[in-house]
Structure 1
Amino acid sequence: MKRITMRGQTVEEAVDKALAQLHLSKEAVDIVVVQQEKKPFLGLFGGQEAIVEIVIRHPFDCVKSFLKHVIEQMGVRVHLAFEQKDEHLVVLLSGPEVARVIGKHGQMLNALQLLAQGVLNRYTDRPLRVVIDAEGYRKRREETLVRLAKNMAKKAIQTRKDISLEPMSAWERKVIHTALSDDDRIQTFSAGTEPHRHVVISLKR
């Protein structure tokens, strides 16, 4: 578990600053007082700040609080549900304005997941992962990508030319690679740099 160190004029102030930064409640952390505050002698010298260490009980709590804060700041009517599965946190979004959180081709959803994973990595050294889905979007997107992969593979075979797909997220590229991995006539590889990295489908030479 990672520890967050915070200073303040008082222990209470240091704790409040740390919790505000993490968007967590006291119930989600353990608090260790490293140094009590000390008022300066005669108000002139010898004073010292309070120092506390905040131990996060589970890094998933940071992700949950982060996402709640982001959705609140976006001002969208979306409900968040969380499912913890071993080393995965699955976040399910639903509500009348969930389409705004998904974005075009899931770009907003992917960006939100990337940010959430960054928050998770910041507060743990364990190989934990967060997956964000919205009313079954990822399953529908996967089915669309598989169909696209099959169609483009046929085109590559017919034309005998390389086919470059549109830029995609790492997860989407993996879906394409997996969908065509059993076809011994073609090969796939990723090309370009983020955010323009894409899959290329070509005939095996």
Structure 2
Amino acid sequence: MKRITMGGQTVEEAVEKVLAQLHVPKEAVDIVVLQQEKRPFLGLFGGKEAIVEVTISNPFYCVESFLKQVIEQMNVRVHLSCHSEKDRLVVLLSGPDVARVIGKHGQTLNALQLLAQGVLNRCADRSLYVVVDAEGYRKRREETLVRLAKSMAKKVVQTGKDMSLEPMSAWERKVIHAALSDDEKVQTFSAGTEPHRHVVISLKR
């Protein structure tokens, strides 16, 4: 569990400073007051600031709270549900406006997942992961990418020429690499820089 110690003129101020620094709700943390504030004698000397220790007891809750705020700001009719699987949080989105949350080729969905992972990294003291999905989109997208990988691999074998795929997210590139990892005739590697990083399929030499 991640712990942060912070001082302030009052206990309330110290807590608010930690929550603002971490961008997490108060419900996601446990607070221990290490030192109460003490007013200076005659307003001149002997004063002490309050010191609190804040422990993020549930980093997954931080992510859930963050995504709810983002969806609310997007003004879309989308329901969010979460469940944890060991070191991974799975966030499922559904509702009338879910297509807007997915975006073209899943770009909006990928952006949400990237932001959510950033929040999780900031709130956790160990490697945890988050997957944001919308009505089974990622499963369908994965199946589409696997078919694309197999098809492009056949063309590479037939023509002997390298094939560059369209720019993809890190998750999508990983799907392509995995789909062809056992192929004895072709190999894959990533090229380019974000946001134009893409997979190249070539013959094994």
> Deviations for 1:55-82, whole angstroms, at most 9, x for unmatched residues?
1112112111111122122222211100
Q: Where in structure 2 are the equivalents of 1:99-178 lying within 5 Å?
A: 99-178=99-178
In structure 1, distance between residues paired with 2:162 and 2:3: 50
Judge conservation of contact 2:109–2:132 (CA < 8 Å) in 1: yes
Distance 2:148 2:102 in 1: 20
Per-residue deviation, 1:5: 3.0
CA distance in 2: counterparts of 1:108 and 1:46, whole angstroms: 54
Unaligned runs of 5+ in 1: none
- Matched to 2:65, the amino acid is S
SS in 1 for 2:182: coil
Figure out how many residues of one structure are paired with residues of the other and give that number: 204
Matched, 1:48 2:44: no
- CA RMSD in angstroms comes to 1.8
Q: 2:92 matched to 1:95?
A: no
The residue correspondences of 1:58-69 to structure 2 (distance < 5 A) are 58-69=58-69
Shift of 1:17: 4.2
SS in 2 for 1:133: strand
In structure 1, the partner of 2:26 is 25
> What corresponds to 1:74 in structure 2?
74
Offset of residue 172 of structure 1: 0.6
**2:56, 2:124 within 8 Å by CA — same for their partners in 1?**
no
Percent identical among aligned pairs is: 78
Note the alpha carbon deviations across 1:93-146, whole angstroms, 9 max, x for none: 111111122111111111211111111111222221111101100011011111
Q: Post-superposition, which runs of at least 4 consecutive aligned residues in structure 1 deviate over 4 A?
A: none
Determine the C-alpha separation between the residues in 2 that align with 1:29 and 1:153: 50
TM-score by length of 1: 0.91
| Alpha-carbon spacing, 1:143–1:120, altered in 2? closer, same or farther (3 Å) | same
Closer, same or farther: CA 69–17 of 1 in aligned 2, 3 Å: farther
2:114 and 2:148 mapped to 1: Cα distance?
24
Q: Helix, strand or coil: the match of 2:53?
A: strand
Ranges in structure 2 where 5+ consecutive residues have no aligned partner: none
**Contact map agreement 2:91 2:131 (CA 8 A) in 1:** yes
**Normalised by the size of structure 2, how large is the TM-score?**
0.91
Q: CA deviation at 1:42?
A: 2.3
Indicate the residue corresponding to 2:7 in structure 1.
Answer: 7
Q: Aligned AA for 2:64?
A: K
